Chain A
Amino acid sequence: DIQMTQSPSTLSASVGDRVTITCRASQSINNWLAWYQQKPGKAPKLLIYRASSLETGVPSRFSGTGSGTEFTLTISSLQPDDFATYFCQQYNSYSPLTFGGGTKVEIK
Protein backbone atom coordinates (compact mmCIF):
# COMPACT_ATOMS: atom_id res chain seq x y z
CA ASP A 1 0.00 0.00 0.00
CA ILE A 2 1.04 3.61 -0.53
CA GLN A 3 2.01 5.25 2.77
CA MET A 4 0.96 8.85 3.34
CA THR A 5 3.00 10.86 5.84
CA GLN A 6 1.74 14.19 7.11
CA SER A 7 3.78 16.83 8.87
CA PRO A 8 3.65 18.28 11.35
CA SER A 9 1.38 16.08 13.45
CA THR A 10 0.38 19.10 15.53
CA LEU A 11 0.60 22.76 14.64
CA SER A 12 -0.01 25.70 16.96
CA ALA A 13 -1.11 28.90 15.25
CA SER A 14 -2.99 32.13 15.80
CA VAL A 15 -5.96 33.62 14.01
CA GLY A 16 -4.71 35.36 10.88
CA ASP A 17 -1.62 33.16 10.47
CA ARG A 18 -0.70 31.51 7.20
CA VAL A 19 -0.62 27.76 7.80
CA THR A 20 0.94 25.05 5.64
CA ILE A 21 0.54 21.31 6.07
CA THR A 22 2.61 18.81 4.11
CA CYS A 23 1.66 15.35 2.90
CA ARG A 24 4.21 12.99 1.33
CA ALA A 25 3.42 9.80 -0.55
CA SER A 26 5.71 6.77 -0.52
CA GLN A 27 5.46 6.63 -4.32
CA SER A 28 4.12 8.86 -7.04
CA ILE A 29 0.37 9.38 -7.06
CA ASN A 30 0.36 12.05 -9.80
CA ASN A 31 -2.25 14.51 -8.53
CA TRP A 32 -4.69 12.00 -7.05
CA LEU A 33 -4.87 13.58 -3.63
CA ALA A 34 -7.69 14.91 -1.46
CA TRP A 35 -7.71 16.94 1.73
CA TYR A 36 -10.30 16.76 4.50
CA GLN A 37 -11.06 18.77 7.62
CA GLN A 38 -12.41 17.00 10.69
CA LYS A 39 -13.70 18.55 13.90
CA PRO A 40 -14.10 16.55 17.14
CA GLY A 41 -17.07 14.22 17.05
CA LYS A 42 -17.86 15.07 13.43
CA ALA A 43 -17.38 13.45 10.05
CA PRO A 44 -14.56 14.61 7.79
CA LYS A 45 -15.41 17.34 5.29
CA LEU A 46 -13.91 17.37 1.80
CA LEU A 47 -11.87 20.51 1.14
CA ILE A 48 -9.80 19.77 -1.96
CA TYR A 49 -9.61 17.01 -4.56
CA ARG A 50 -7.19 16.28 -7.37
CA ALA A 51 -4.52 18.06 -5.33
CA SER A 52 -5.70 21.60 -6.08
CA SER A 53 -9.42 21.65 -6.94
CA LEU A 54 -11.49 23.42 -4.30
CA GLU A 55 -14.71 21.63 -3.37
CA THR A 56 -17.86 23.72 -3.87
CA GLY A 57 -18.62 25.89 -0.86
CA VAL A 58 -15.13 25.70 0.67
CA PRO A 59 -13.64 29.14 1.43
CA SER A 60 -10.96 30.36 -0.94
CA ARG A 61 -8.45 30.76 1.92
CA PHE A 62 -7.88 27.00 1.51
CA SER A 63 -5.62 25.94 -1.33
CA GLY A 64 -3.73 22.84 -2.35
CA THR A 65 -0.62 22.31 -4.42
CA GLY A 66 1.69 19.51 -5.42
CA SER A 67 2.06 16.46 -7.61
CA GLY A 68 4.00 13.22 -7.60
CA THR A 69 4.95 12.57 -3.99
CA GLU A 70 4.79 15.94 -2.22
CA PHE A 71 1.68 17.98 -1.52
CA THR A 72 0.71 20.95 0.61
CA LEU A 73 -2.49 22.35 2.04
CA THR A 74 -2.33 26.06 2.81
CA ILE A 75 -4.74 28.18 4.82
CA SER A 76 -3.91 31.75 3.85
CA SER A 77 -5.38 33.44 6.93
CA LEU A 78 -6.42 31.10 9.73
CA GLN A 79 -9.94 31.69 11.02
CA PRO A 80 -11.46 30.52 14.35
CA ASP A 81 -13.54 27.92 12.49
CA ASP A 82 -10.37 26.36 11.02
CA PHE A 83 -9.05 24.85 14.24
CA ALA A 84 -9.47 21.17 13.44
CA THR A 85 -7.60 18.09 12.26
CA TYR A 86 -6.69 17.79 8.59
CA PHE A 87 -6.17 14.55 6.68
CA CYS A 88 -4.79 13.88 3.23
CA GLN A 89 -5.91 10.88 1.19
CA GLN A 90 -4.38 9.37 -1.92
CA TYR A 91 -6.54 7.72 -4.55
CA ASN A 92 -4.15 6.37 -7.13
CA SER A 93 -6.08 3.72 -9.03
CA TYR A 94 -3.32 1.08 -8.77
CA SER A 95 -3.28 0.81 -5.01
CA PRO A 96 -5.91 0.79 -2.26
CA LEU A 97 -6.70 4.31 -1.15
CA THR A 98 -5.03 5.40 2.08
CA PHE A 99 -5.12 8.37 4.42
CA GLY A 100 -2.40 10.32 6.14
CA GLY A 101 -2.15 10.26 9.91
CA GLY A 102 -3.60 13.73 10.36
CA THR A 103 -2.41 17.20 11.41
CA LYS A 104 -4.10 18.87 14.34
CA VAL A 105 -4.23 22.66 14.07
CA GLU A 106 -4.62 24.12 17.53
CA ILE A 107 -4.78 27.57 19.04
CA LYS A 108 -1.43 29.06 19.99
Chain B
Amino acid sequence: QLQLKESGSGLVKPSQTLSLTCAVSGGSISSGGYSWSWVRQPPGKGLEWIGSIYQSGDTHYKPSLKSRVTISADRSKNLFSLNLTSTTAADTAVYFCARASGYAYAIYFDHWGQGILVSVSS
Protein backbone atom coordinates (compact mmCIF):
# COMPACT_ATOMS: atom_id res chain seq x y z
CA GLN B 1 0.00 0.00 0.00
CA LEU B 2 1.51 3.28 -1.15
CA GLN B 3 2.08 5.82 1.60
CA LEU B 4 3.51 9.32 1.49
CA LYS B 5 4.57 11.39 4.47
CA GLU B 6 5.72 14.98 4.62
CA SER B 7 8.33 16.29 7.00
CA GLY B 8 10.13 19.56 7.55
CA SER B 9 10.01 22.80 9.44
CA GLY B 10 6.57 24.02 10.44
CA LEU B 11 7.73 27.59 10.93
CA VAL B 12 9.71 29.67 8.46
CA LYS B 13 10.73 33.31 8.78
CA PRO B 14 9.73 35.67 5.98
CA SER B 15 12.24 35.84 3.11
CA GLN B 16 13.74 32.49 4.14
CA THR B 17 13.49 29.17 2.30
CA LEU B 18 10.75 26.66 3.01
CA SER B 19 12.10 23.10 2.76
CA LEU B 20 9.98 19.96 2.91
CA THR B 21 10.59 16.29 2.22
CA CYS B 22 8.15 13.56 1.23
CA ALA B 23 9.08 10.00 2.13
CA VAL B 24 7.43 7.35 -0.02
CA SER B 25 6.83 3.77 1.10
CA GLY B 26 5.04 0.87 -0.50
CA GLY B 27 6.15 1.94 -3.96
CA SER B 28 9.09 3.43 -5.81
CA ILE B 29 9.42 6.98 -7.07
CA SER B 30 11.43 5.46 -9.93
CA SER B 31 8.29 3.75 -11.27
CA GLY B 32 7.30 4.95 -14.69
CA GLY B 33 3.94 6.53 -15.45
CA TYR B 34 3.70 8.67 -12.35
CA SER B 35 4.83 12.04 -11.16
CA TRP B 36 5.57 13.08 -7.62
CA SER B 37 4.02 16.38 -6.76
CA TRP B 38 3.45 19.12 -4.23
CA VAL B 39 0.08 20.78 -3.66
CA ARG B 40 -0.69 23.39 -1.01
CA GLN B 41 -3.81 24.70 0.71
CA PRO B 42 -3.88 27.97 2.65
CA PRO B 43 -5.97 27.68 5.82
CA GLY B 44 -9.67 27.61 4.96
CA LYS B 45 -9.00 27.98 1.23
CA GLY B 46 -8.69 25.93 -1.94
CA LEU B 47 -5.94 23.79 -3.42
CA GLU B 48 -2.98 25.00 -5.48
CA TRP B 49 -0.61 22.80 -7.47
CA ILE B 50 3.03 23.79 -6.98
CA GLY B 51 4.94 21.40 -9.21
CA SER B 52 5.95 17.85 -10.03
CA ILE B 53 8.97 15.69 -10.73
CA TYR B 54 9.03 12.61 -12.95
CA GLN B 55 10.92 9.35 -13.03
CA SER B 56 13.04 10.86 -15.80
CA GLY B 57 14.01 13.76 -13.57
CA ASP B 58 11.95 16.24 -15.60
CA THR B 59 10.20 18.86 -13.53
CA HIS B 60 7.14 21.01 -14.19
CA TYR B 61 6.15 23.97 -12.04
CA LYS B 62 3.21 26.33 -11.76
CA PRO B 63 4.41 29.30 -13.83
CA SER B 64 3.61 31.91 -11.16
CA LEU B 65 5.79 30.03 -8.64
CA LYS B 66 8.48 28.78 -10.99
CA SER B 67 11.09 31.41 -10.09
CA ARG B 68 10.98 30.37 -6.41
CA VAL B 69 10.42 26.59 -6.56
CA THR B 70 12.74 23.63 -6.85
CA ILE B 71 11.57 20.03 -6.62
CA SER B 72 14.22 17.32 -6.45
CA ALA B 73 14.35 13.59 -5.81
CA ASP B 74 16.65 11.22 -3.95
CA ARG B 75 15.95 7.86 -5.52
CA SER B 76 18.32 6.00 -3.22
CA LYS B 77 16.15 7.08 -0.28
CA ASN B 78 12.85 6.98 -2.18
CA LEU B 79 11.95 10.55 -1.33
CA PHE B 80 11.42 13.87 -3.02
CA SER B 81 11.73 17.40 -1.75
CA LEU B 82 10.38 20.92 -2.14
CA ASN B 83 12.32 24.14 -1.73
CA LEU B 84 10.43 27.44 -1.91
CA THR B 85 12.55 30.57 -1.62
CA SER B 86 11.77 34.18 -0.67
CA THR B 87 8.75 33.21 1.39
CA THR B 88 6.04 35.60 2.56
CA ALA B 89 2.96 35.20 4.72
CA ALA B 90 1.07 34.26 1.54
CA ASP B 91 3.03 30.99 1.50
CA THR B 92 1.46 29.91 4.81
CA ALA B 93 -0.45 26.74 4.00
CA VAL B 94 -0.82 23.03 4.52
CA TYR B 95 1.59 21.42 2.07
CA PHE B 96 0.69 18.01 0.66
CA CYS B 97 2.87 15.67 -1.32
CA ALA B 98 1.06 13.44 -3.76
CA ARG B 99 1.49 10.87 -6.49
CA ALA B 100 -0.06 11.81 -9.79
CA SER B 101 -0.99 9.92 -12.90
CA GLY B 102 -0.20 11.55 -16.23
CA TYR B 103 2.48 13.93 -17.40
CA ALA B 104 3.32 17.65 -17.28
CA TYR B 105 0.10 19.64 -16.72
CA ALA B 106 -2.12 16.67 -17.56
CA ILE B 107 -2.12 15.00 -14.16
CA TYR B 108 -4.50 14.10 -11.39
CA PHE B 109 -3.60 12.98 -7.87
CA ASP B 110 -4.40 9.44 -6.73
CA HIS B 111 -2.41 9.18 -3.50
CA TRP B 112 -1.76 11.93 -0.98
CA GLY B 113 0.30 12.47 2.14
CA GLN B 114 -1.38 13.64 5.33
CA GLY B 115 -0.14 17.20 4.88
CA ILE B 116 2.06 19.46 6.97
CA LEU B 117 1.21 22.97 8.10
CA VAL B 118 3.91 25.52 7.37
CA SER B 119 3.54 29.00 8.80
CA VAL B 120 5.62 31.90 7.48
CA SER B 121 6.02 34.34 10.33
CA SER B 122 8.69 36.27 12.17
Point out residues on A near B: beta carbons under 8 Å. Answer: 32, 34, 36, 42-46, 49, 55, 87, 89, 91-102
Residue among B46, B48, B98, B105 making CB contact with A91, cutoff 8 Å: B105
Chain A hits for B102, CB < 8 A: 91
Residue ID in chain B nearest A45 by CB atoms = B112
> Is B63 part of the binding interface, using a Cβ–Cβ cutoff of 8 Å?
yes
CB contact between A96 and one of B101, B105, B113 (< 8 Å): that residue: B105
Q: What does DSSP make chain B's interface, helix, strand, loop or mixed?
A: strand
Q: Which 6 A-B pairs have the closest CB atoms?
A: A43-B112, A93-B106, A34-B108, A99-B47, A49-B108, A91-B106
- Chain B residues, CB < 8 A from A102: 46
* Chain B 52-70 interface 0/1 with A at a Cβ cutoff of 8 Å (1 = within): 0000000000110000000
CB of B49 within 8 A of CB of A43, answer no
B25 CB–A CB distance under 8 Å: no
Q: Closest approach, in angstroms, between the C-beta of A68 and any C-beta of chain B?
A: 17
* Nearest B-chain residue to A49, judged by Cβ: B108
Residues of A within 8 A of B62 (CB): 96
**B104 interface residue per 8 A CB criterion:** yes
